[in-house]
Structure 1
Amino acid sequence: MEKIKIQTHKKLRLVNVLAKELRGLPLEKLDEEIQKFTNFLEVSKIQTKGPLITKTIGTQISEAGEISLDYDIYIQTVRELNFQGYAFYPELVAENCLFAHFEGTQEEFNFVDAKLSLYIWENDLIARGEQYMIHLEQNEKWMMTDVFKPVEKMNETL
């Protein structure tokens, strides 16, 4: 039985997106920043639609071996908002994505990345560098997540 099924040519469309854009974030601070974002939503009593969405844009490793991320945290809201330190987008669209639905443990999630990478390699595609994760449900032992990874066809002339 196939546990992770890859679908192609999917489109992710988000509306009224409140975003916290994090650049050069040390990896060990990621969970803390996500918690700060969710706390901000609660305290501010922002009306949201749908689950938390995260976007991984890139990873850097310093000469000292320290890992940092470029990362966005999104939530869809019911209306336009303006808060200092946050960005707002009326609409965000990611087209031509590979899509995978995952249900399992946090430790097993790396199989999603591995399967997407293998699919990209086998089908002569190029990942555009970002990946969106729709966090549908999560607890200490289990998670349900949808993953969208924008891709493009490899240039045959290279």
Structure 2
Amino acid sequence: MKLGDKLPAIALAATGDKTVKLSQFKKTKVVVYFYPKDSTPGCTTEGQNFRDLYSQFQKNNCEIFGVSRDSIKSHEKFKEKQEFPFDLLSDPDEALCKAFDVIKLKKLYGKEYLGIERSTFLFDEKGKLVNEWRKVRVKGHVDEVLAAVEAI
């Protein structure tokens, strides 16, 4: 996935007993943010930040989707507990993660493993990738994404 590419035609299970195919979103800006794991500190804070500014994203004709490899059951609990107004997509087979190249070698306590690198992607109303943030640091990130959405 690189700037100018279109939203992928990959369908994933989503919260609320839905299936979401990102390529179906036309005439709407779309933010897709990838995060490592439900209910972990950084992922919770990032989701809360998107939640708290959700009305601003909506005013700018923008939908938000959070994506991780967690199960729908885990996503439903996470979404309900944090009161997220947007859907979370489950990507256990890493189809969308691989399309966006967010699976990276990571280290934790000296052990290496493959995991999701926190990343965010912004698509315009034509479904074209116009901005990407990789190796995201949570603090201030959602404000930056909102500013980019407002600038389109």
Query: Same fold, TM exceeding 0.5?
Result: no
| Higher-Rg member (1/2) | 1
- TM-score calculated relative to the size of structure 2: 0.30
Kindly indicate which of the two structures has a greater share of residues assigned to helix. Answer: 2
Kindly indicate which of the two structures has a greater share of residues assigned to strand. Answer: 1
